[in-house]
């Protein structure tokens, strides 16, 4: 098996630099950021959100430098507008009710018209990792095999405990909001790309979706690139954590492709059990237990994370990522994921303290 390329998309919230509240200024930010970042900065569904995309990378150090550059550039441009970007899966106190859909784009107008409150509630930010795979059938095989491990990625990245000023009780409440889309969730097991295309065609023919870009599974074949796109993760507080997640995702894709190539039996776990494992990871993150990816039982989260890292060890080694990723995983487990850190900040008084802490870190937004 050869090495694989990867790329990362990060979504951010846009907040007022003084109050920390969400503000609908992304159209202006986009206009000012495009001269610096070109097509790598993109609008999102809501006017208080914005997205950036890394270059295609082979080396994690290059990816880290690129993501830091994107964050710093957006931060500098937004500061001139009296705003700031917030790498949070959900906002700690502003309500979705006070935001507005980006109606300048026909796609988003049509989504609001079709999905109504479900669309308006999507004031959430994720981190999407693309892994380069040229063979369309192998893309689907890797999608099938990687599903079992997606809850571990979600637990490590969870960064959205608050919703409209209240602690949701979840490490990733973003996941609960995301699941309201009719085509979200865990993908089914598919025989190959032809079957995937048939599913897309069937859904489009009954007006459930317009095209493949509306397939909101946790992992899906990209409609634009020869990649498999992993979508279960919250946007991370730090670039370092995002790079750790990206390294794990690439190693998982490589391991799954290798298992397909040599004929290792795929994991046997029902879609219902996989959905339950995702819910469990969203609820508890890394602070309690996770559902074992291979056995019908729960285990301490750190043990399951260790099983995952060992499962993808060869994929890490092939790309020269083992030391960097293992160190990053240890860092997340020791310090806590974004949800743990947000709650620690909020424990000093209120969810406002989460944004206050972000402002204190403004010069080191990466």
Q: What is the pLDDT of residues 123-161, one digit of tens each?
A: 999 999 999 999 999 999 999 999 999 999 999 999 999
DSSP state, residue 269? -
C-alpha–C-alpha distance, residues 49 and 44, integer Å:
6
In what helix (H) or strand (E) does residue 162 lie, and over which residues does it extend?
A: strand 162-163
Q: Are strands 216-217 and 184-185 parallel, antiparallel or unpaired?
A: parallel
pLDDT at position 362: 55
CB atoms within 10 A of CB 182: 14
Domains in the chain, start-ordered, CATH in brackets?
6-364 (3.30.590.20)
Q: Is the pLDDT of residue 264 over 80?
A: yes
**Residue of 3, 198, 13, 152 lying closest to 90 (CA atoms):** 13
Does pLDDT of 366 surpass 60?
no
How do beta strands 227-234 and 83-86 pair?
unpaired
pTM of the shown model? 0.97
Q: 81 to each of 70, 74, 85, 121, how far by Cα in Å?
A: 17, 11, 11, 25
Percent of residues, the chain, with pLDDT higher than 70: 98
Of 78, 88, 65, 74, nearest to 8 by C-alpha is: 65
Q: What is the pLDDT of residue 268?
A: 87
- Predicted pLDDT at 363: 44
Which candidate, 147, 156, 127, 150, places its Cα nearest to that of 301?
A: 156
Instruction: Summarize pLDDT for 239-260 with one digit per residue, the tens.
Output: 999 999 999 999 999 999 999 9
- How far is it, in rounded angstroms, from Cα 116 to Cα 110? 10
Average model confidence (pLDDT) for the chain?
A: 95
pLDDT for the residue numbered 364: 45
Q: What is the pLDDT of residue 352?
A: 78
Q: Going by DSSP bridges, is the β-strand pair 227-234/219-221 parallel, antiparallel, or unpaired?
A: antiparallel
Question: What region does 285 belong to: left with phi over 0, alpha with psi -120 to 50, or beta?
Answer: left
Minimal CA–CA distance to 81: which of 177, 5, 16, 7? 16
Q: What is the DSSP letter of 46?
A: B
Collect all residues with Cβ–Cβ distance below 8 Å to 56 and sequence separation of at least 6.
Answer: 5, 6, 7, 132
Tokens 């944004």 found at: 355
* 228 touches 139 (CB < 8 A): yes
* Partners of 18 in the β-ladder: none
Residues in the chain: 366
| Nearest CA-CA partner of 155 in 140, 171, 132, 137 | 171
pLDDT reading at 349 higher than 80: no
Asked if the model's pLDDT at residue 48 lies above 70, the reply is: yes
66 Cβ neighbours under 8 A, 6+ residues apart: 54, 55, 57
| Separation of alpha carbons 31 and 41, rounded Å | 10
Q: Which residue has the tokens 């001269």?
A: 35
Q: How confident is the model at residue 355 (pLDDT cuts 50, 70, 90)?
A: confident
The token duo for 80 is: 């001139």
pLDDT digits (tens, 9 = 90+) for 272-303: 999 999 999 999 999 999 999 988 999 999 99
């Amino acid at each position: 098996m050869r090495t694989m390329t990867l790329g990362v998309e990060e979504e951010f919230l846009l907040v007022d630099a003084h109050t920390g509240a969400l503000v609908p200024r992304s159209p202006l930010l986009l206009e000012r950021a495009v001269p610096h970042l070109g097509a790598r900065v993109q609008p999102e569904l809501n006017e208080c959100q914005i997205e950036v995309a890394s270059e295609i990378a082979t080396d994690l150090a290059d990816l880290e430098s690129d993501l830091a550059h994107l964050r710093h550039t957006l931060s500098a441009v937004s500061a001139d507008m009296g705003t700031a970007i917030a790498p949070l899966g959900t906002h700690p106190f502003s309500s979705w009710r006070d935001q507005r859909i980006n109606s300048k784009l026909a796609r988003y107008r049509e989504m609001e018209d079709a999905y109504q409150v479900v669309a308006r509630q999507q004031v959430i930010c994720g981190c999407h990792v693309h892994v380069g795979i040229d063979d369309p059938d192998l893309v689907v095989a890797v999608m099938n095999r990687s599903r079992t491990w997606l809850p571990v990625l979600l637990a490590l990245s969870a960064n959205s405990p608050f919703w409209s000023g209240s602690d949701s009780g979840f490490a990733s409440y973003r996941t609960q909001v995301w699941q309201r889309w009719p085509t979200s969730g865990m993908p089914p097991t598919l025989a190959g790309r032809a079957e995937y295309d048939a599913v897309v065609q069937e859904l489009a023919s009954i007006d459930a979706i317009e095209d493949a870009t509306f397939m909101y599974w946790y992992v899906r074949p990209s409609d634009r690139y020869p990649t498999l796109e992993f979508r279960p993760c919250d946007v991370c507080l730090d670039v370092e954590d995002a790079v750790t997640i990206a390294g794990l995702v690439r190693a998982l894709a490589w391991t799954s492709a290798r298992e397909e190539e040599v004929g290792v039996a795929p994991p046997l776990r029902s879609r219902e059990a996989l959905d339950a494992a995702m819910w469990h990871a969203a609820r508890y993150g890394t602070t309690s237990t996770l559902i074992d990816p291979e056995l019908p039982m729960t285990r301490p989260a750190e043990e399951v994370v260790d099983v995952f890292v060992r499962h993808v060890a060869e994929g890490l080694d092939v790309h020269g990522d083992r030391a960097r990723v293992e160190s990053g995983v240890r860092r997340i487990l020791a310090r806590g994921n974004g949800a743990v850190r947000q709650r620690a900040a909020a424990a000093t008084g209120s969810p406002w303290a989460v944004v206050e802490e972000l402002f204190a870190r403004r010069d080191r937004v990466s």
